[in-house]
Structure 1
Amino acid sequence: MPTNTHNLCDEPWIPVRWTDTAPSPHPERVGLLELLLRSGDIATLTITDPPAHSALLRVLYALTARVTELDEAAPGDWGERRLDILDAGQLPREGIDAYASRYRHRFFLYDSDGHRPWMQDARLAEQCDADKTAGVNKLIVTRPAGNTHAWFRHGSDARPDLPTAAEATLNLLVWHYYGPSGRCSAREVNGIKTASATAGPLRTALSYHPEGANLLETLLAGLVPPAQTVRRQDDPCPWEWEELPDPDDVPPVPSGPCSRLTACSQHALLLVPDEANPHLVRDAYITWAYRKGRIPRDDNYLIWQISQQGNRYPRPADSRRALWRDLDALLLKEPPGTAQPQRPEVFTYAAEISEDLRVRALGFEQEGQAKDTQFVDAATPPVLGFAEQQAPATAPAVGRLRRLGELYGRRLERAVKRAWAEYTNDSKANGDTWAAEAAAHYWPSAEAEFWHRFRELDPTGRQPHAGLDPSAARMAFLRLATDAYEMVTASITRTQRGAKAVANARIELYGGPPKKTAPAEAA
């Protein structure tokens, strides 16, 4: 194995897009140090896989907190110190240089001397069977591995295409944050061999991030003030650990923002470079990190809600659900809903950076174990100026708009299912095909209608209902639902039976048949 090669502080591995005013050069990829030093000139990360984007943002938040000393509440006012850095237009070079001087040796992707490759466990080379590694197809989450069906590309575990170190590093992060539970490669520790892993901290969840005009704004807006009791020496990132934790013991509990951002992985990995070209990865070990217990699941970038059993869980990623339907859960202090959703903690403080921040949702629709369905990546226009603490007058209007859009979406689904059941004369017919087709017509139009009316809201509080006309909004969503209903049911209206079913079911768009009231008893 190459000795101390491919240092992620310097090697260009993070894809970025530059602002229009950024001075040259404009490389397509940068290392960690250049990214931090030039964050004010970088518009955004251009990582194509949303879970990798989400995972790397958490690493960058931790590094930003370290180099700015915003990882501790003192000295002075934390919020004012953050705004001072924003006004400077760049992260402090002296903080970046000092951190790099102390920890650069912990950012080697391959490290055979110090046995501390970045975000990896070199002990796996001895504790796992070298003939039964996971392989690079398993490492790269978009590839088929083993007996899995090939959807996007064909590949062979025996002769895989070797990924670049940059691609492997991003997927290393995906495993740390989104890795599955269940059976993995066997790992022998203290004479006991086991092969069962716990799911990663973000598995199944949708992650919400404030996004600014440049990466500097994005990183500063993504920070949450630490508790007064947090001390940086007690809040280490994995690459700052003096020693690797004992895998046979319970995992260390994160004690502050940096460890909570980076040290909650339930998986252990080790990349094996290609001997001929260290810019390629030849193999990978993937197994469990801790035999006992689980790190408490907590995160400042998730919408937390309560199940019917009273358990707290993050709102799951759903590739079919548009981001605007979560907007009041992001802007309101106490969003409505039976699940008692809790706004991501980051949005309590993000709007202090800028009122023009957008929200980006990143996630991976997947099950707790092996099944992965689809990536989720969505963004809003600038919305955080409408957060409840910034513009309280708009809060009811935002909530009402969202509820109206969802109300007519539900009514549309009931209407097409009833029309199908009456047409087929089968009360058990579920009409799922029609419902899916109607949803495909309605929800994109409803999203466009929502944002159109959202942009016209008055955040000053001078106009009643923040300028929202509830009656006009209701009629607009009803019209969209009606258009979708007529389009889906048009094929059966040519027959008398079909036309009657469509006419009868149309009332569901208006709330269904009126409820019958019992006659009053005679006096």
Structure 2
Amino acid sequence: MPATMNILEESLFPVRWSPDAEGHAGSAPPRVGLLDLLLRSHEIEGLAVPDAPAHSALLRILYALTARVTGLDEAKDGPDNWQFLRDEVLEEGRLPQKGIEDYFARYRDRFFLFDLEPGGRPWMQDRRLKDQCDPSNTAGVNKLVVTRPSGNNFSWFTHASDPRPDLPTAAEAVLNLLTWHYYGPSGRCSAREVNGVTSASAKAGPLRTSLSYHPEGDTLFETLLAGLVPPARGVEAERDQCPWEWDELPDPDEQPPALTGPCSRLTAGSMHALLLVPDPEDSERVRDAYITWAYRTGRGTRPDDAYLIWQISKQGNPYPRPADAHRALWRDLDALLLIDPPGVAQPRRPAVFEWAIEVSPESSELRVRALGFEQDGQAKDTQFVDAVTPPVLGFVEKRSARTQPAVGRLRALGERFGNRLDRALRRAWRTYVNDAKDSAEAWAQEGAARYWPAAERAFWDRFALLDRTGTALDGGLDAAAARTSFLQLAMRAFDDVTASAARTQRGAKAVEEARIELFCDRRGKPRPS
């Protein structure tokens, strides 16, 4: 089958148009190709990708392409000159049309979604799998689409049949292809024979289990420029290659290609190899998929990534903060804004935020979008994570900061009373049922469901009142009022959860004995409320 479905022109990627975009009144398409994503990025408000991991993966592809077409893929004269060049692009108000057209003219043949001919190079795929894998034992499209059940797994969101699957569209397939490259599981996969040796074990994708944080502007153009980080002086664009720029596909028996700079780190860290098979009766649908390992040896460590909060484990090893669908984004805010945020894990803020604030003249216009996938290291997938803050990047701590920004104290207060509430409810339940070993999850979970959404609203309300000039004492935070506000929310949640038990004598005694936990950080040592 000849090469078909070039993603540069095909309308595969969903977008939200800006209100003043040309044709927004009704003729602007809901999906565009990769070419228009860049050419019209100044008219696009943002990506409308519904699945968080696919959104995160696509942003990284677009960051690399943006760096290429603007010349921001090198910084041989240092970060100051790199930043000056980015400012020039920003002043133009759009990405350079000539740079985009020249780049895609050079690599157009590498952007076909389907290309099964000998020597073909389908985008982000390995055509060799057609010969190296068993065609009668492929992964199938239900395995490709990460929201579908496959094999003997339960159906949670949709019913699917392996013998008669609903064939995904090319638009669905390309986003799930990216999800596999970045968030794919470790463990057993389809068997692949290379150099006479067959194996069926893959390493985890570079972003698996993690939560990434992206600066977000009023347009996709601003978002992409804000998401760039200056390369090291020694990075050479010709060596820092994306997968579609490789002259030849790597040998799976060898070490994976070195990630020498931002473009390769953004796009070439996958440990999975995939190949999509188009439906011969409908060229816009995918009939089958090969999914297997990409390299037999694998990388020793997770590639560095400028969009993750890196922490230190008890064993002294760095690891990215994991995605947690139950943890609201505001609880990570000081780890995003501060140079040295508090915490025993020694969190390090994403490197991108040191440079993002220079993109907008009014840096507070930039928001933060968190995208991730709560999952374990192997095959268990739990829930997508997608959240966005109000404008916050005006509060990024500068190197000259002399005091801890108020946002860190505000976050800590909200966390403190959430933790106290959890401890109080568990103590009350255990006393009530007279079982010190009971997990007390029922009351603790109900209390969390009541407290944390209310605490988030209180946090953002008080955050909006903070000083943005850098002149007010303690950042303009009224710490006493904030403390009282969070305490009242914790007390209200505690009373609501324990109300039914408090009607009995034993329950009332257990509740009142546990209430003291709301006023102390350690048992028996009350602190000012």
Q: TM-score range by the shorter chain?
A: over 0.9
Partner of 2:344: 338
1:339-389 residue CA offsets vs partner (Å, 9 max, x unmatched): 000110101100001211100000000000010000000000000011112
Which of the residues 138, 147, 151 maps onto 2:156? 151
Q: Name the structure 2 match of 1:221.
A: 226
| TM, length-normalised to structure 2 | 0.96
* Counterpart residue type for residue 217 of structure 2: G
Contact 2:2/2:116 (8 A) holds in 1: yes
Shift of 1:462: 2.6
Displacement of 1:253: 1.5
Deviates more, 1:113-122 or 1:59-68: 113-122
- Is 1:394–1:466's contact at 8 Å kept on the other side of the alignment? no
Residue 209 of structure 2 corresponds to which residue in structure 1? 204
- Secondary structure at the aligned position of 1:278 is classed as strand
Q: Residue type of the partner of 2:430? A: A
Deviation at 1:392, TM superposition (A): 4.2
Q: Distance in 2 between matches of 1:184 and 1:262?
A: 22
1:470 and 1:176 mapped to 2: Cα distance? Answer: 45
What's the counterpart of residue 382 of structure 1? Answer: 391
Counterpart in the other structure of 1:514: 524
Contact conserved, 2:370 with 2:388, CA < 8 A, in 1? Answer: yes
Give the corresponding residue for 1:169.
174
> What is the deviation of 1:393?
7.3
Corresponding position of 2:240: 235
Q: Distance in 1 between matches of 2:291 and 2:499?
A: 53
Equivalent residue, structure 2, for 1:437:
446
The answer to whether 1:81 aligns with 2:85 is yes
The answer as to 2:449 corresponding to 1:450 is no
SS at match of 1:280: strand
- Counting aligned pairs with the same residue, the percent is 66
Shift of 1:463: 2.1
Partners of 2:215 and 2:223 within 8 A in 1:
yes
SS at match of 2:282: coil
Question: 1:521 is matched with which residue?
Answer: none
Which residue in 1 is equivalent to 2:12? 13
Match of 2:21 in 1: 22
Q: 2:332 aligns with which of 326, 337, 342?
A: 326
Q: Secondary structure at the match of 1:255?
A: coil
Asked whether the 8 Å contact 2:339–2:399 carries over to 1, the reply is: no
Q: Distance in 2 between matches of 1:153 and 1:415?
A: 39
Partner of 2:357: 351
- How many Å separate the matches in 1 of 2:209 and 2:18? 33
Q: Which amino acid aligns with 2:60?
A: R
Contact 1:252 1:295 in 2 (8 A): no
- Give deviations 1:166-201, integer Å, cap 9, x for gaps: 100000000000000000000000110000000000
Distance apart, 1:283 and its partner CA: 0.1
Indicate the residue corresponding to 2:317 in structure 1: 311
2:57 counterpart letter in structure 1? A
Letter matched to residue 277 of structure 1:
D
Q: Which moved more, 1:374-383 or 1:494-503?
A: 494-503
Matched, 1:260 2:265: yes
Alignment of 1:255-294 (within 5 A): 255-294=260-299
Compared CA separation, residues 289 and 136, structure 1 to 2 (3 A): same
Contact in 1 for aligned 2:186/2:378 (Cα 8 Å): yes
Paired residue for 1:110? Answer: 114
- Give the TM-score normalised by structure 1: 0.97
CA 1:39–1:383 in structure 2 vs 1: closer, same or farther (change >3 Å)?
A: same
Q: Which region of structure 1 is more displaced relative to structure 2, 113-122 or 45-54?
A: 113-122
Aligned alpha-carbon RMSD (Å): 1.4
Q: 26, 47, 50: which one pairs with 1:48?
A: 50
Q: Deviations over 1:305-351 (max 9, x none)?
A: 00001011000000000000000000001111100001101011000
Matched to 2:448, the amino acid is A
Which amino acid is 1:6 matched to? M
Query: 1:112, CA displacement in angstroms?
Result: 3.1
For residues 364-375 of structure 1, the aligned pairs below 5 Å read 364-375=373-384
Instruction: Give the deviation of 1:32 after TM superposition.
Output: 0.6
Distance (whole Å) between structure 2 residues aligned to residue 387 and residue 17 of structure 1:
27
Of 56-65 and 21-30, more deviation after overlay is shown by 21-30
Tell me if the contact between 1:388 and 1:394 (Cα under 8 Å) persists in the aligned partners. Answer: no
Q: 1 CA distance for matches of 2:53 and 2:438?
A: 38
* Segment of structure 1 superposing worse, 51-60 or 419-428: 419-428
Contact 1:361–1:376 at 8 Å: present in 2 too?
Answer: yes
Give the counterpart letter for 2:2 in structure 1: T
Counterpart Cα distance in 2 of 1:429 and 1:123 = 55
Q: 1:395 to 1:353 in 2, by over 3 A?
A: farther
Give the Å deviation of 1:295. 6.0
The aligned residue for residue 182 of structure 1 is 187
Unaligned runs of 5+ in 2: none
Can you give the 5+ residue segments of structure 1 that lack an aligned partner in the other structure?
Answer: 517-523
Q: CA deviation at 1:429?
A: 2.0
Q: Distance in 2 between matches of 1:393 and 1:404?
A: 21
Deviation of residue 296 (structure 1)? 3.8
CA-to-aligned-CA distance 1:228-284 (integer Å, 9 cap, x gap) = 111110011000000000001111110011000000000000000000111000000
- Is structure 2 residue 36 aligned with structure 1 residue 37? no
Query: Which amino acid is 1:253 matched to?
Result: A
Moved more, 489-498 or 458-467: 458-467
Q: Provide the rounded CA distance (Å) in 1 between the counterparts of 2:355 and 2:332.
A: 18
Residue 232 of structure 1 aligns to a residue whose secondary structure is: coil
Aligned length: 515
* SS of residue paired to 2:146: coil
Cα separation, partners in 2 of 1:300 and 1:513, compared to 1, 3 Å: closer
- Quick one: distance in 1 between partners of 2:395 and 2:491? 30
Given that 1:387 and 1:395 are in contact with CA atoms closer than 8 Å, whether structure 2 keeps it comes out as no
One-letter amino acid of the counterpart of residue 73, structure 2: D
**What secondary structure, in the 3-state scheme, does the structure 1 residue paired with 2:452 have?**
helix
